[in-house]
Structure 1
Amino acid sequence: MIRSVFNCMLCAVIMLLLVACGRQPPEQRLRASFAAMQENVEAGKPGVFMGSVAPDFVGNQGLDRAGLERLLRGQLLLNAKVGIQTGPLRVEMGEGGTATVRFTVLLTGGSRGLLPERGQMQEVVTGWREQDGEWQVYSADWGPVGGEGG
């Protein structure tokens, strides 16, 4: 009896979560995907991060999805601790489930000391599209703040 009540309560909670997720506006879901990607980099989980990168991703100088993954894994190997601080996200919702997100980011890395050993400020423009209810980044262009991307 107690087990069946517990199972019913568990099913009710799961249903409420699914309904709540379905009611989030597209921009809110996009911001949540962005935040999860940032958390996964800082947690050293490149495979989970790459789950939100589209198969046809294109970045600076023709960087493809595989190249992005190699770049990310290389940085995580070089830096025991990676930090990401973004400025405000400027989200422009497009037609047909697309969006552009612009932001500045301070990337830091080091050996887990109190202060980072390296840091770099970048301006970033990313292209996103919603695929089967999930946002994926399909393009990115970045460069030094105040400079040209590339």
Structure 2
Amino acid sequence: METERSRPGGGRRAAALAGACALLLLAMLGGCSRPDPEAALRDAFAELQATIERRDPAAMQQHLADDFIGNDGLDRDGARRLAALLVLRHRDLAVDTGPLRLELGEGHAVVRFTALLRGGSGGLLPDAARVYQVETGWRLEQGRWRLASARWTPVVD
């Protein structure tokens, strides 16, 4: 009786098939692993920035921790109202950030950056622009990074 191994090259085909199955299994297991905390934090940061630029205060608020605190005691609802005010005031909104400086801890992180906040009525030049030094605190809640605190200081008053 002729088997796969007894045919010329059959042993190599079986070994190649076993190797391909092992690689496929490893790839599937790798896909199930948790994302890199830094990459996940950078993604959460980018999503938050995108909600601001989409002019969506309610979506922005979903990225904030329930106990969010900002400058002068600004809470989560106050942050949403501030974002809504900016949306009403400016037809175009943009946030440009400098390089993010991350400090990751177990379940928490600090992200520092410089931000240029621009708002306008849709013309060629922005009606308003301001540069800030920003320090944010993030907390990992149920596998998702949430903004827990933010402190911003104008670079030039």
Q: Same fold (TM over 0.5)?
A: yes
Indicate the residue corresponding to 2:143 in structure 1: 133
- Cα distance in structure 1, aligned partners of 2:83 and 2:144: 22
2:130 aligns with: 120
Structure 2 residue aligned with 1:145: 155
8 Å contact 2:61–2:77 — kept in the other structure?
no
**Structure 1 position 59 matched with structure 2 position 59:** no
Which of 65, 87, 90 is residue 76 of structure 1 equivalent to? 87
Aligned-residue identity in percent:
45
CA distance in 2, matches of 1:81, 1:55: 28
> How has the CA–CA distance of structure 1 residues 21 and 123 changed in structure 2, closer, same or farther, with 3 Å as cutoff?
farther
Q: Distance in 2 between matches of 1:130 and 1:22?
A: 17
Q: Give me the whole-angstrom Cα distance separating, in 1, the residues matched to 2:33 and 2:90.
A: 37
* Counterpart residue identity of residue 122, structure 1: Y
Q: Counterpart of 2:8?
A: none
**Structure 1 Cα separation of the partners of residues 33 and 123 of structure 2:** 41
1:98 maps to 108
Q: 1:44-63: CA deviations, max 9, x gaps?
A: 11111111100000111111
Structure 1: gaps (5+ residues): 1-15
Partner deviation per Cα, 1:32-71 (whole Å, 9 max, x = no partner): 0000111111111111111110000011111111111111
Note if contact 2:57-2:81 (Cα within 8 Å) is conserved in structure 1.
no
What do the CA deviations read for 1:59-100 (whole angstroms, capped 9, x no partner)? Answer: 111111111111111001100000110000000001x31000
Whole-angstrom distance in 2 between the partners of 1:110 and 1:21: 44
Report the count of equivalent residues: 130
Q: Which structure would you say has the larger Rg? A: 2
Alignment of 1:40 with 2:51, yes or no, is yes
Q: Does 1:24 align with 2:10?
A: no
Q: Following superposition, which runs of at least 4 residues in structure 1 exceed 6 angstroms of deviation?
A: none
